[in-house]
Structure 1
């Protein structure tokens, strides 16, 4: 299956425009305030709010946010990660070999419950299949499944069991592969690997690529695999990342006002580009016109058939009404750009750069 066919499988049947810029989100979304309150009640031993009550609250929140994504008009939805607390901690609790010894300070007044790998990591029960099946049942639209990648799971943990982090990364990659196989069996066709640690340690792109080879082994070609890498100096990992076995790179560029856009123009960007077109670090809703301009910046790198539209990163730290506004305006902007592309009003001729291996 070609990259274009891989993307077009998510094109809605009632899509009016000839061009199709797939719209989606990276993953996290602001939790309803009452869900945080439900968690507090559940953790209070003196309160009668039990496991079933808390599960019902998470289910309700997942339905609510999935519906919010639909109302915003997104082509591919997630549940906003309503059942997840933190992107490493959530998975570490579900992988044999990890243990927790209390939070560590990471920056300012922020703390992270950083886990330790104290024995060989092993796969036990599925991590995300129930979450995926619930979201797929709650929505008529395709569902994307974000999953923290093995490099970040290793890099953001204390390694007390393996000779080095590379060995741990590859062991975790095999576990991620096992989980993705179960997700595929359950019907998932869009998987996003989150590797924020790559941008902070870019010299390790080779081990990330090797881990991805482990992850996609035996995964059918119709399953779309994306890689999300937020912030950082992309010039230190490009064009090497083009060798990664993924269909799509999801990159944070709006926050830097597209200063790094030139990085991806030469050599030729051969994968699909999921371009961040709204800044998740700014609690203001960009206008539709501004987002249209941002989308067109992506057309300087790839043709329309290789462009996906998304926010820079997860939007969980924004006020919920701001997050929704950004999503709704983003979808409207994408549809407007499609209309202009259909009418030939946007010049998409680009200088053809040399391939990466030249």
Structure 2
């Protein structure tokens, strides 16, 4: 394996082959973390800001430890300091404001923010989070960041001609933030564009945003793009032109039917492969996960395969989330050993074979 992905391979890795294991981002918050938030936000509560900050530190430390005990190669802190993927960043971008909740579906609500003037970058959004996480972690740390297209699409636009113009402006701010993260030592950045597969006709806008986001980044920075579940056939193969190293796709949702989309033309990027179901509140067996991974090896060779859950896992019971990660890592290590001894063979076509 060559390129920036090599830096995430542990020095004492037991197998010649290497399947990078990671998480998409979110993880279940400890119950005491949520209780501390309630006490801090309650006007009659008795938890001050210092105690609330310490609670978030403790939760981040605990989740990093869980990821590392499960054997994850590139960890996060489970987004213990974040609320929702748009609200958290809207609170930190000049030009946004909150207006109250809107109904999304059923009894679910979302505090959809508004852009009321031109957006500007001031203080860093994630550097403190990254520095704390990297200080307590012994494994490499991945930094997920909501992408500009989703930040624009899931907000009320009151200041720009259209959402495309807003997304482009936000892309420049995301570039500013990533430059700060890189200066702090981050080398694995994941752009979350949850909205892309729901409005696939805008893939060209996302491509332009990504060009701006990666502008000036060092060659050793590994950039992934997470795209939530949708009709991937409507954005493939166009997304192969995006300037990212890895596509992290929600393929278990749908029982891998959409793997067929990526067979022709040949998938030429690294694949972040959802090997466990984030909607099922029980842990898959190691054997089940190995069977899933073998399917991925029909699309990409092992040196371009990253194993992760399908999406964020914050809605699962914490003990189930941990069991899924532990079994996922065990499955990846067993597949690596079977690749080493020839029991399992990758059958993915060489890049360009089907173009």
Whether the TM-score (by the shorter chain) exceeds 0.5 is yes
* Residues 86-235 of structure 1: pairs in structure 2 closer than 5 A: 86-235=84-233
- 1:196–1:230: 8 Å Cα contact kept in structure 2? yes
Mapped to 1, the partners of 2:351 and 2:20 lie a distance apart of 25
Q: In 2, Cα distance between the equivalents of 1:140 and 1:105?
A: 41
- 1:36 paired residue number: 34
Query: How many residue pairs are counted as aligned between the two chains?
Result: 355
Q: Which runs of 5+ in 2 are unaligned?
A: none
**Alpha-carbon distance between aligned partners in 2 of 1:228 and 1:301, rounded to the nearest angstrom:** 18
Structure 2 CA distance for aligned equivalents of residues 185 and 74 of structure 1: 24
Q: For the aligned residues, what is the CA RMSD? A: 1.1
Report how far residue 48 of structure 1 moved.
2.3
Distance in structure 1 (CA, Å) of the matches to 2:340 and 2:103: 51
Q: Distance in 1 between matches of 2:351 and 2:16?
A: 27
Partner of 2:63: 65
SS state at 1:246 partner: coil
Q: In the TM superposition, what is the alpha-carbon distance from 1:253 to its structure 2 partner?
A: 0.6
1:266 is aligned, of 264, 267, 272, to 264
Please report how far the alpha carbon of residue 202 of structure 1 lies from its aligned counterpart in structure 2 after TM superposition. Answer: 0.5
Contact 1:265 1:353 in 2 (8 A): no
- Tell me the residue number matched to 2:285: 287
C-alpha distance after superposition, 1:17-67 (max 9, x if no partner): 000000000000000001110001001122221110100000000000000
Deviation at 1:346, TM superposition (A): 1.1
Q: In the alignment, which residue of structure 1 is the partner of 2:14? A: 16
Contact map agreement 2:94 2:119 (CA 8 A) in 1: yes
Deviation at 1:4, TM superposition (A): 3.3
Superposed structure 1 runs of 4+ greater than 4 Å apart? 351-356
- How many angstroms apart in 1 are the aligned matches of 2:274 and 2:2? 19
- How far apart, in 1, do the equivalents of 2:102 and 2:36 lie? 25
Q: 1:263 to 1:143 in 2, by over 3 A?
A: same
Number of the residue aligned with 1:85: 83
Secondary structure at the counterpart of residue 138 of structure 2: coil
Q: Aligned equivalents of 2:107 and 2:349: distance in 1?
A: 47
- String of CA shifts for 1:224-261, please: whole Å, max 9, x gaps: 00000010000000000000000000001112110011
Partner of 1:52: 50
Counterpart-to-counterpart distance in 2, 1:130 and 1:352: 41
Q: Secondary structure at the match of 1:4?
A: coil
Question: Does the 8 A contact of 2:299 with 2:347 survive in 1?
Answer: no
TM-superposed CA distance for 1:350, in Å, is 3.7
- Distance, in Å, in 1 between the alignment partners of 2:106 and 2:349 is 45
SS in 1 for 2:257: coil
In 2, Cα distance between equivalents of 1:5 and 1:353: 16
- Superposition deviation, residue 351 in structure 1: 4.4
Q: TM-score, normalised by structure 1?
A: 0.98
Match of 1:321 in 2: 319
